[in-house]
Each structure stands twice: as C-alpha cells, then as structure tokens.
Amino acid sequence: MGPLIPNGIIGEGWDFVIAILIGIAFGFILEASGFSSSRNLAGVFYGYNFVVLRVFFTALIVAMVGLMYFDYFGWLDLSKIFILPTYLGPMIVGGIIMGFGFIIGGYCPGTSFTGIAIGKLDALFFTVGLYLGIMGFSLAFPLFEGFYNSGSMGNITLTELTGIPAPYFAMAFTVVALAAFWGTMFIEKRVRKNMKQYKF
C-alpha cells in the first residue's frame, strides 16, 4: 500500500499541502517538548536536562519498531522508501562539524525555526548563521568538491552492510535507548541538585 505518494495513491498536487501539515505537526511537537530553548537542548551535554535524548531516542525507536510492523502487515513497501545515501568520510567530518555547531550555537536547524516562532533572538541569529554557513559552503564548493563526493557507498542500510536483519537493530537500539532513559533519570536528579541557578 504505502508509501502513498510514490505509489500514486495520493496525487503529486497534494505534496505541498502535506508538507505544510507535516511541518506543523513537527514544529508543534518540537516546541511543546521544549526544543525551542537552546538551554534545554544544550543540557543534554551537561547532564542537567536530557529532554533531547528522551525525545530523540523515543522517536527513533518508535519509528524503527513501527516500520518493522508496517512492513510486516504489508502497509509499507520498505524497498520504495528513501534511504539516505552514505558518504563515509564527508559524513563523519560533517557530523563532527555539526557537533561543534550544536555546542557553540545551541540549536539545530529544525529547533531554531521553532525558537524563532516564539521570539527567541538567539534562534534567529543561529538561522542567520546557518544561511551564512551554507552560502559559504556553496561559494567555496570547488575547493572541496572532491572530498564532498568521496567515500560514496550508495543508499546502503545497516542490514545490507552487516547482513543482520533489521529487527535485531531495532531491538538493540530499543534496549540501549531504554537503558539510557533510566540511567539519565538518575544523572539528571543528581546534577540538578547542585545547580540552583538553572531556570528554563
């Protein structure tokens, strides 16, 4: 049955309407969970607020396990969904650069949009920075075009790489995530006891 648009069940014309609706739901969930505050987001790295870890990994395991069931019941053709292509070197470097960006800037792109929506100036400046960063990348593209396209492994999944069926990965991620939820609950309590000045 699914995915609906690639299979032609929903016409292409609905594409942008659906995009806005999905965006609204995405923005609402991010803001309602507290992702519109950079201090909440950065807290995951200092142990005083693990909301990022909780929301991120809960979403991850729900989506992973859900996909397995959708596939099993025949609702979704997993061979038709988009698999992010892997570029080994550029993705490692990109991830590291984004890690720096996250700590220094305090947001990531999606959350900065919700920050702007409720009037956070730092979110606005972060978005300006994003714009400048991508502009800089585009202008300087000839310099690292070779590296950008290096290490291509195609649209490869964990299952194709290792030969281990996807449910085992879903299970592993779930166990690790649940253990992390319980562990961070105690860490957070401890760190917050020593932190009187933290206000949201």
> Can residue 187 be called a binding residue for another protein (CB under 8 A)?
no
* 188 near another protein (CB under 8 A): no
Instruction: Report, in Å, the least distance between residue 128 CB and another protein.
Output: 6
**Is residue 96 involved in binding another protein (CB under 8 A)?**
yes
List beta partners, residue 152.
87
Q: How far apart are CA 39 and CA 41, in angstroms?
A: 5
Binding-site member from 8, 13, 113, 189 for another protein (CB under 8 A): 113
Give yes or no for residue 169 binding another protein (CB under 8 A): yes
Residues numbered 5 to 24 that lie near another protein (CB under 8 A) are: 5-6, 10, 15-16, 18-24
For another protein, which residue of 11, 13, 142, 146 counts as binding (CB under 8 A)? Answer: 142
From the CB of 190, what's the least distance to another protein, in Å? 14
The answer to whether the beta carbons of residues 48 and 188 sit under 8 Å apart is yes
H or E segment and range at residue 154: strand 152-154
154: which strand partners?
86
176 binds another protein, rule: CB under 8 A? no
Structure tokens at 47: 């142990």
Q: Which long-range contacts (CB under 8 A, 24 or more apart) does 108-113 make?
A: 108/41, 110/26, 110/30, 110/35, 111/30, 111/35, 111/36, 111/41, 113/27
Q: Please confirm whether the linkage preceding 3 is cis (ω < 30° from 0).
A: yes
Among 8, 11, 182, 189, binds another protein (CB under 8 A): 182
Residue 183 touching another protein (CB under 8 A): no
Nearer to another protein, 5 or 190 (CB): 5
| Residue 66 found at the interface with another protein (CB under 8 A) | yes
